[in-house]
Structure 1
Amino acid sequence: MKKVFNLGFILMLSITLMSSMCSSDDDDGSPNDYSQQIAQIEDTAESGTWRITNFNDSGDNETSDFNGYNFTFNSDGSLVATNGSNTMTGTWSITDDSSSDDSNDDDDIDFNIFFPVPDTNDFEDLNDDWDVVTTTSTRIELIDISGGNGGTDMLTFEKN
């Protein structure tokens, strides 16, 4: 009986020591530190007015719903879309989505858009935590893969 107890104790001690020696790849903080990229995207978005050149809602091209609108991403987090006669005001932000439940592990930065409008308003379709595909000084490409129906939405802003 003493041998069984000693063997069990040694096994437990070995497992405890081995698990305490393992370290996470994230300990240095750099793999998931997107603060510099986020700051660059924010600076780009805030650098002028933008127009939607592509809005594809689960296979339906709805770009024309936003024809004539200029979008301004303000540094205070407000988002203003105007076409001269109509003005829509919402909010925007860019966040690290490493803690979200997105299905794609390689999508690490969210471009969040929210307009407080009814479901029947075209601007409600823009409300989402879009994944950033690419950004340049004149183009911001976003994508969202729906968790519900699996549809893919694409949104592209180009600088005026």
Structure 2
Amino acid sequence: MKKLILIPLLFGVFMLNVASTCSNDDDSSSSNNPSITDVNNNVVNGTWQVTLFSESGSTQTSNFSGYNFNFATNGTLTAVNGNTTMTGTWSTGTDDSTPKMYIIFNVSNGSFEEISEDWRILSNSSSKIELKHISGGDGSIDLLTFEKS
């Protein structure tokens, strides 16, 4: 009889040990689940450059060559290339639990209009932010990557 009680007791102890060694580690700073707070903290530190802009499969990174992007804590976004300065705004939030970065430049045409979108945050680190936009019209995919200069 003691052996019959001991087997379920040992099984229970074993299961507790397995449960305590396994963890559901939800690291919000990982590239698979970027934290809005981490993005906000990272992006306002330093100067950034566009290292990839792909619109519908067409790489157009060179349109931003020489521009240094600064994301201010008050939501102001500036892109400076010599004597040329583009101004806009940025913010972050979630849409259907998806972390997003919203970039808006005050222009009506050109490359800066093309990056004025709601971007899904794919990955985030202190030196690189990768973004993706899926067009609601035709489903085309745009990619935008900022890296700290």
TM-score (norm 1): 0.70
Q: Which has the higher strand share?
A: 2
Alignment partner of 1:115 is 2:105: yes
Distance in structure 2 (CA, Å) of the matches to 1:145 and 1:55: 13
1:92 is matched with 90
Distance in structure 2 (CA, Å) of the matches to 1:39 and 1:136: 12
* Structure 1 segments (4+ residues) deviating >2 Å: none
Unaligned segments of structure 2, at least 5 residues? 1-33
What SS does structure 2 have at the residue aligned with 1:76?
coil
Distance in structure 2 (CA, Å) of the matches to 1:97 and 1:149: 20
Residue 37 of structure 1: how far off its partner (Å): 1.8
1:149 is matched with 138
| 1:71-121 CA distance string (max 9 Å, x none) | 0000000000001110000000001112xxxxxxxx6111000001012x2
Distance in structure 1 (CA, Å) of the matches to 2:89 and 2:42: 16
2:71 is matched with 73
Residue 142 of structure 1: how far off its partner (Å): 0.2
